[in-house]
Homo-oligomer: A and B are copies of this chain.
Amino acid sequence: MDGAGLLKETPEAILSRINPCSTLSEALSGADYIQENTPERIEIKHDVLAAIEANAQPDAVIASSTSGLLPSAMFENIASARRCLVAHPLNPPHLIPAVELVPGPATDAASLHTARTILEEAGHVVLTLRREIAGFVMNRLQGAVLDEAFRLVEQGIVGPEDVDIALRDGLAMRWSVVGPFETVDLNAPGGVFDYIDRYGPMYDDLAIGSEGRADWKGPVRDVVTADRRARLAVDQIPARTKWRDARLAEIARNHLDKREKS
């Protein structure tokens, strides 16, 4: 992200604070907050977390990145599970502010508070689940959209690009300014309570999801793949990802400018 205008210091000044280490005990020495981002396989997480627990300071908070594994399963063998939690960012994590914190059954409030404080100081915007649920919050909301998107394409109502337009140039443009609850709160004179009276029956009638989920691996996969590949060859994915990140960096810089002005 060179030249994106997101840094307040020189890259050299920041790099001077990053110390690569060749052993775990060296890396964890003096650390108050530990973030592990190893592959999402439960046996790897068990091994890595046991090694971290054995080497970390007694009060260090241990955060795991995962989208598919549950804290209760990852931390089940950890004696100090009270200080373990999931901190799940979105890709690309250096540009997207949201991080969700997910406690396991043993996680204490103090550890969640420490993680939140440190992540907020690093510029993240944190949401905290009260207890674990599969998919957490962000992948459940993403899954809700993808389920309906695949179903609309499977039923032949629209093509994949039409769904992307509906979000990119419509709903998500608005949600990036006001979230979905604030959106409906502003869209009825009496706020969300009033909105539910006015539009709730329409959503009841839609009964979204009641006919079951699309079969993502069925014929709809070929429809979506053909459309995407006509727009972007697989070998162009890295270049397009770079373009996406440049756009996200611009948005992040705009947010930063606003925060500094206010």
Q: Which residues of A contact B (CB under 8 A)?
A: 67-68, 90-91, 96-98, 100, 125-131, 133-135, 137-149, 152, 155-158, 160-182, 184-187, 189-193, 196, 199-200, 202-210, 213, 216-217, 221, 224-225, 227-229, 232, 234, 237, 240-241, 244, 247-248, 250-251, 254
Contacts and interface: CB of A to CB of B under 8 A. Distances in A.
A208 B143 contact: yes
A181 B68 contact: no
A224 B186 contact: no
Stoichiometry (number of copies): 2
Contact of A192 (B157, B181, B202, B224): B224
Contacts of A208: 135, 140, 143-144, 147, 209, 213
A128 B165 CA distance: 10
Contact of A165 (B145, B179, B190, B251): B179
Main secondary structure of the interface of A (DSSP, over half): helix
Give the one of A98, A100, A142 with max B CB within 10 A. Answer: A142
Given A98-B173, A139-B202, A145-B171, 9 more contacts: A97-B173, A128-B158, A137-B163, A143-B206, A163-B181, A164-B178, A173-B251, A186-B240, A186-B241
Contact of A171 (B128, B138, B163, B232): B138
Contact of A134 (B68, B175, B205): B205
A80 to B, nearest CB: 25
